[in-house]
Structure 1
Amino acid sequence: MRVFVTGATGFVGSATVQELLRAGHKVLGLARSDAGANAIAAAGAEVLRGNLEDLDSLRRGVAQADGVIHTGFNHDFSRFKENCETDRRAIEAMGAELAGSNRPLIVTSGIGLLRPGGVVTENVQPASNPSIPRVSEQTAYAAAEKGARVSIIRLPPSVHGAGDHGFVPILIGIAREKGASIYTGEGLNRWPAVHRLDAARLYRLVLEKGRAGARYHAVAEAGIPFREIAAVIGRRLGVPVVGKSPEESAAHFGWFAHFAAIDNQASSALTRQELGWEPTQAGLIEDVDQAVYFQA
């Protein structure tokens, strides 16, 4: 297949591009800069210049493809609401272009804000809380109602591996700045996790075998207690690992306090059963306990 990939130079997207190419697919990668275009070309994929706000570029990419994988998202949390709106418009535009064609559109969503304190399965519906501005799934299913062949991949809060610039590196930066690695209470709130290469393989499997309308979970580890993550960070940085009250933790983490407090377990049992997906890469604790995560 010829696959149009948004976010083709991103942490997950670039791994997905490599996975697709190794499996014999052709890839058209969206690039918003010269550096991005060079990286996509160096990987062996074709380049389409554009970005998520340039809806015409997205339509051109879709028109040239047998399927679309949407991994692109701007994770600048200072503009989170605006970035969620950009994501909504991008999915809407690509879905409209694909309507009635039976070409797959795979949309990326997240697990972290679903069913706090409970187990999130593939059957759990997307959040309908108006205070949560990211509506990737809702927009995708609206496109499906208009004839697009949509599947969803949900990523856990921690997608880890070489080049990680997500939640764990943020925690490391805060611990380094504040001189302590903190968890809240007993630190039993849980983060699901997956290695980027395992996630990339799932994108390929969904492209090749996924069902229209299905939700799939890229979850290798159902829920790692936050204090275990804090302990690795503290040991690697040589700083105290300390439990704090919710108020003290909020002051310590600042804008990141909400994410540090995420507590959910996630199952990928249905995903594994249907697609035969089995993670093979290192787990989060093993992966983070490496010098590469702590290079200043």
Structure 2
Amino acid sequence: MRVFVTGAAGFIGRAVVQELINHGHQVLGLARSDASAELITKAGGLPHRGDLEDLESLKSGARAADGVIHLAFVHDFSNMAKCTAIDRAAIEAMGEAMAGTGKPLVIASGILFLPKGKLTTEDTEPDRNHPFAERGLSADLVYQLSKEKNIRGSVIRLSPTVHGKEDKGFIPALINLARQKGFVTYVGDGSARWPAVHRLDAAVLFRLALEKGTAGATYHAVAEQAIPIKDIMTVIGKHLQLPVESKSLNEAAEAIGFFAHVISSDNPTSSDKTQKELGWHPSQPKLLDDIEANYFSSESKAKYSS
């Protein structure tokens, strides 16, 4: 299968490209720069120049492929409305090019805007009042395209931490914050729980959804469903030799800003349905083991602090 991948040069994207190629697929990767094009070429893919706001490049990439995996997203949390509007326009453009073909369109979404404090599943509706709720509108669009345009669209909700070597997401950000502040913090008793998935396991899931996902389906990229935040912070504190402190939400917000709300989110999440339907079996290192092994080595310090 020839697959058009947006975000192909990114942290998850490079793993997806390699997973696809290792299983006999060809990859056409969206490249917005020479550096991105070089990364895609090194991974064995063919660069396709353009970006998320170049709708004609997205349409031509989708037309030239047998399926699409959409990973790219503009991560500007100060203007979520604009970012999500760009994302929906990109999905609509690719969907228009694929209409009537029955080809697969797999997009990345998230878990953070699901309801808090209870185990959520693939059938759980997002919290439409969450600050990031607009992110879920892209998923709604894919479901709509699946029904109205004969596209085999599916949505993969990613864990808030997709971890692995070269990670530049939440865990490295928390490590850097701790270094800057001189302490590690969690909110309340630290019992808020996060799901997690290794990037290589996530890449396998994207391939499986592309190959045999159901139109209109939601899948969860969750290998571990409920890791207490306190456990994560304790590992970080141990390696940095810094105190690990409990704070109220307001105190934490004063100290670490936006991240206080992220680490106070209690998001236990199941992927049982995903694993059964697609035969997905996560096999990579778990989050705490990965942090211990790869996030504080001399080699990783430069990667994770850059």
Letter in 2 for 1:234: G
Tell me which residue corresponds to 1:17: 17
- Report the Cα distance in structure 1 between the residues aligned to 2:148 and 2:214, rounded to whole angstroms: 17
1:8-66 deviation line (CA, Å, top 9, x unaligned) = 00111110000000000000000000000011111111110000111111001001000
Is 1:236 matched with 2:239?
yes
Match of 1:264 in 2: 267
Deviation digits for residues 222-242 of structure 1 (CA, Å, limit 9, x no counterpart): 010000110011111111001
**Are 1:95 and 1:144, in contact at CA under 8 Å, matched by a contact in 2?**
no
What is the SS of the residue equivalent to 2:250?
Answer: helix
- Structure 2 counterparts to residues 70-89 of structure 1, below 5 A: 70-89=70-89
Are 1:142 and 2:167 matched, yes or no? no
Tell me, yes or no, if the aligned pair for 1:126 and 1:138 is still in contact at 8 Å.
Answer: no
Superposition deviation, residue 133 in structure 1: 2.3
C-alpha distance in 1 between matches for 2:255 and 2:289: 26
| Worse-superposed segment, 72-81 or 109-118 | 72-81
Does residue 1:3 correspond to 2:6, yes or no?
no
Matching of residue 125 in structure 1 with residue 128 in structure 2: no
Aligned partner of 1:251: which letter?
Answer: E
- Residue 294 of structure 1: how far off its partner (Å): 4.0
Distance 1:130 1:196, change over 3 A: closer
Residues 161 and 195, structure 2, Cα contact 8 Å, conserved in 1: yes
> In the TM superposition, what is the alpha-carbon distance from 1:141 to its structure 2 partner?
1.6
Q: Could you tell me how far apart the structure 1 residues matched to 2:164 and 2:256 are?
A: 23
Counterpart amino acid of residue 63 in structure 2: A
Runs of 5+ consecutive residues of structure 2 not aligned to the other structure: none
Cα deviation for residue 129 of structure 1 reads 2.9
Partners in 2 of 1:121 and 1:33 — Cα distance?
38
Structure 1 residue 120: Cα displacement: 1.3
Does the Cα contact within 8 Å between 1:88 and 1:136 map onto a contact in 2?
Answer: yes
Helix, strand or coil at the partner of 1:28: strand
Structure 1 vs Structure 2 CA RMSD: 1.3
Identity of paired residues, percent?
Answer: 52
Tell me if the contact between 2:187 and 2:260 (Cα under 8 Å) persists in the aligned partners.
no
Contact 2:4 2:27 in 1 (8 A): yes
* Aligned match for 1:251, one of 245, 254, 257: 254
Preserved CA contact (<8 Å) 1:236 1:294: no
Q: Secondary structure at the match of 2:281?
A: coil
Which residue does the alignment assign to 1:49? Answer: 49
CA distance in 1, matches of 2:190, 2:94: 41
Distance 1:238 1:130 in 2: 35
2:184 alignment partner in structure 1: 181
* Structure 1 residues 104 and 80: alpha-carbon distance in aligned structure 2, compared to 1, 3 A threshold: same
Aligned equivalents of 1:227 and 1:44: distance in 2? 40
Amino acid at match of 1:250: A
CA apart distance, 1:181: 0.4
Alpha-carbon distance in 2 for matches of 1:190, 1:69: 29
Contact conserved, 1:188 with 1:225, CA < 8 A, in 2? yes
The match for 1:170 is 173
Instruction: For 2:280 and 2:194, locate their aligned partners in 1 and report how far apart those are by CA, in whole Å.
Output: 20
C-alpha deviation, 1:130, in angstroms: 7.3
Distance in 1 (alpha carbons) for counterparts of 2:186 and 2:126? 28
Q: Aligned with 1:129: secondary structure? A: coil
Question: What SS does the aligned partner of 1:277 have?
Answer: coil
Runs of 4 or more consecutive aligned structure 1 residues displaced over 6 Å after TM superposition: none
The answer as to whether partners of 2:113 and 2:126 remain within 8 angstroms in 1 is: no
Aligned ranges for residues 30-69 of structure 1 at < 5 Å? Answer: 30-69=30-69
Compute the TM-score of the two structures, normalised by the length of structure 2: 0.93
CA distance in 1, matches of 2:143, 2:95: 9
